Structure 1
Amino acid sequence: MTIAFENVGIAVRDLEEAIAFFADLGLEVIGRDTVSGEWTDTAVGLDGNHARIVMLGTPDGSGRLELFEYIHPQAIETSPTLPNEIGMHRVAFSVDDLDAALATAARHGCLPLRGVAEYEGIYRLTYLRGPSGILVMLAQDLRKNP
């Protein structure tokens, strides 16, 4: 048996807002669709499942992010995940210029939770809240991009 990583899926409140945020950070839209029907009810485990979806990818092809906005059943608002909660934690991206990425995020109203940290002279990194409260980590490898 072989296994390969496919993507991370995240339900969002506003699909277009989330696409704009992640596209501005450098992800590329791979495809969009609206899905519904028996096959999606079965796959997802929700009767009447109907959602708008978009697949985003990193320019180097190493990762994909699937965002979906529910049309039916109605999306359920929850509190944003805290860094120490069990479960889906965050989505992380390497960037070559953390300051530029933070400026892009700020244009979307997304700021670091506390600030920018440096890990042993290897990484500069931070967590921020993206659209719909998504916890996003941005990290710059100082060995590659000082």
Structure 2
Amino acid sequence: MAIKLENVGIAVRDLEAALSFFTDLGLTVLSRDTVSGEWTETAVGLDGNHARIAMLQTPDGHGRLELFEYLHPEAIETEPTRPHEIGMHRVAFSVDDLDEALATAARHGCHPLRGVATYQDLYRLTYLRGPSGIIVMLAEELKKS
């Protein structure tokens, strides 16, 4: 059986704020839609499912992120995930210039959880809290291959 990763989906509190953040980091909006009806209820397993969605793509064309803002049922606020909790908790991006990416994130009020670290002289990286509490990892390769 062949398998490929299609996208990572993330529910957000404010679709426009999340789109602004991720497009400023360099992702491109491929499509936007408002979805509802029986097919979404069946696919998602949620009665009355009605959401605004946007599909974004990384500049290399390989990574996709689907953001969705629920209109119905009302979105449930939860405590932001912490890095050591079980389950999906972050989305990671390679960047050419970590300092530039952090400056972009800062314009959205998003800053490293603690600071910037170096991993084995291979990467400079950090986790930051993005829109809707999403943990975003940004990593710059130090030794370009």
Q: Which category of TM-score, normalised to the shorter sequence, fits these structures?
A: over 0.9
1:7 matches 2:3:
no
Unaligned runs of 5+ in 1: none
TM-aligned CA deviation for residue 73 of structure 1: 0.3
CA distance in 2, matches of 1:81, 1:45: 23
Name the residue aligned to 1:124.
124
Alpha-carbon distance in 2 for matches of 1:130, 1:102? 11
The count of aligned residue pairs is: 145
Deviations 1:71-90 (A, max 9, x none): 00000000000000001120
How far 1:94 moved relative to its partner? 0.1
Tell me the residue number matched to 2:109. Answer: 109
Aligned equivalents of 1:73, 1:20: Cα separation in 2:
24
Q: CA deviation at 1:115?
A: 0.2
> What SS does the aligned partner of 1:121 have?
coil
Tell me, in whole angstroms, the C-alpha distance in 2 between the residues paired with 1:89 and 1:10: 10
For 1:12 and 1:89, locate their aligned partners in 2 and report how far apart those are by CA, in whole Å: 13
Question: What do you get for the CA RMSD once the two structures are aligned?
Answer: 0.8
Q: Report the equivalent of 2:45.
A: 45
Cα distance in 2 for residues equivalent to 1:144 and 1:55? 29
Matching residue's letter, 2:64: R
What residue in structure 2 maps to residue 80 of structure 1?
80
State the distance in 2 between where 1:144 and 1:22 align.
24
Give 4+ residue runs of structure 1 displaced > 6 Å after superposition: none
Q: Give me the TM-score of the superposition, normalised by structure 1.
A: 0.98
Deviations 1:13-55 (A, max 9, x none): 0000000000000000000000000000000001010000000
Residue aligned with 2:103, SS: helix
- Given the two structures, how large is their TM-score scaled by the length of structure 2? 0.99
